[in-house]
Amino acid sequence: MVTLKILVVDDSEAFRKVMIELLVRAGFHDILEAESFEQAVEVFRRERPKFTFVDMILPGKSGVEVTKSIIAIDPSATVIAMSSIINKTMIRQSLDAGAKDFLLKPTNAIALSSVLEMWSD
Amino acid sequence: MSLFLFKKSKAKGADKESSLGISRKYKLLPGRAYVVEESPPDMSFDAFANLINTHDEGKKPVGLAVTRQHPDLVRQKYGLERTPIYWLATKTGPDVIAPTNLGILTHTLINFVEEHENGVILLDGIEYLVSNNDFPKVLRMIDQVNDHISQSSTLMILPVDPRAFETKEVALLERNMERMPGVGGI
């Protein structure tokens, strides 16, 4: 069992559940959830997860704003942007905001494991 | 007539996608063809888009997709700006290949393999090809393309819906190809 803390930010409960299932299968059990910008920032500030997976399209403030706020709190945070389409402009904005990588939704065990391995210290 | 059609089907304009600055998620090797047992073909498309949007040791691949999905939707969802996408459909038009025209399809794929280094082919819609031809014909076409791939730096991703095939047919497909690493079988 891996004891890394992971935060999943997505307004879709169904997608959060899929991500949690994939993460649990990969051996991660300390998983936190948030469905909005405000919740994400609050949970991140309190729990300081190692990885934060952020959906780029959220109601209200976008995933780019979430990324900027998280990086402002902890510049060493590992934020992974997610989206159901590959919008190159949005991905570049996310990377410019401090995201380390991008995952296409719905993701899968191979892509997710690759990202976790790539960005784990 | 056939020469004219062959010329028309050539994978012209295959160009590299602009760099995204993201990591490569799929460790697939050149000169190999990979079967991905899945439905819908999300992982296959993700792998294709990831490979052609990332570098591997400085080499950025160029892609070619053949699909049952409309090319406009594929371009939009996977951010493909420069990659040629052929639509498997009965409708006539540019960049459309009729499912019964296996000769054109074979020629298009082999041309791409011969003309590009570090190519990545996504061949989606095998089920549609089989329903418009028969399995042995489609298998021969895939084997023929695979013969060229195995002597090249190109790789091919072949999503297969296992529900559409007999176990024996899946085994025949996988005879000269590999399963995508990390994906379970049927």
pLDDT one-digit tens code per residue, B139-181: 999 999 999 999 999 999 999 999 999 999 999 999 989 998 7
User: What is the rounded distance in angstroms from the CA atom of residue B38 to the CA atom of residue A28?
Assistant: 25
Which positions in chain A touch B63 (Cβ < 8 Å)?
A: none
H-run or E-run covering B64: strand B62-67
CB-based contact, B76 to chain A, within 8 Å: yes
What's the angle, vertex CA B118, arms to CA A114 and CA B103, rounded to 5? 115
Question: Domain for residue B174, yes or no?
Answer: yes
pLDDT band for position B12 (50/70/90)? low
Helix axes A63-73, A88-97, angle to 10 degrees: 10
Question: Domain for residue B81, yes or no?
Answer: yes
Question: Domain for residue B164, yes or no?
Answer: yes
* A85 closest CB neighbour out of B76, B182, B183: B76
* Contact assignment for B50 to A95 by CB distance below 8 Å: no
Output the pTM of the full model.
0.90
Question: Domain for residue B66, yes or no?
Answer: yes
pLDDT band for position A54 (50/70/90)? very high
Question: What percent helix, strand, coil does chain B show, rounded to 5?
Answer: 40, 15, 40
* Type of residue at B48: F
pLDDT of B133 > 50? The answer is yes
Question: Domain for residue B20, yes or no?
Answer: no
Q: Output the pLDDT for position B185.
A: 40
Q: DSSP characters for chain A?
A: -EEEEEEEE-S-HHHHHHHHHHHHHTTEEEEEEE-SHHHHHHHHHHH--SEEEEES--SSS-HHHHHHHHHHH-TT-EEEEEESS--HHHHHHHHHHT--EEEESS--HHHHHHHHHHH--
Q: Output the pLDDT for position B17.
A: 80
For residue B126, what are the domain limits? 2-9+34-179
pLDDT band for position B114 (50/70/90)? very high
CA distance A37 to chain B (A): 23
Question: Domain for residue B46, yes or no?
Answer: yes
* Contact assignment for B21 to A92 by CB distance below 8 Å: yes
- Which of the pair, B94 or B70, is modelled with greater confidence? B70
pLDDT > 70: percent of chain A = 98
Write down all domains in chain A, each with its CATH number in brackets. 2-33+41-119 (3.40.50.2300)
What are the Cα distances from residue A14, in Å, to A20, A54, B52, B78? 10, 15, 29, 22
CB-based contact, B25 to chain A, within 8 Å: yes
Q: What are the start-end ranges of the H helices in B79-156?
A: 102-115, 126-132, 135-149
Q: Output the pLDDT for position B183.
A: 65
Question: Domain for residue B29, yes or no?
Answer: no
Residue B52 belongs to domain with CATH number: 3.40.50.300
* Contact assignment for A85 to B43 by CB distance below 8 Å: no
Q: Output the pLDDT for position B93.
A: 87
When the pLDDT of each residue in chain A is averaged and rounded to a whole number, the result is: 95
The 10s digit of each residue's pLDDT in A99-115 is: 999 999 999 999 999 99
pLDDT of B184 > 60? The answer is no
Q: How many separate domains does chain B show?
A: 1
Please answer whether residues B61 and B119 qualify as being in contact, where contact means their C-beta atoms are separated by less than 8 angstroms. yes
CA distance B19 to chain A (A): 9
ipTM metric: 0.90
H-run or E-run covering B63: strand B62-67
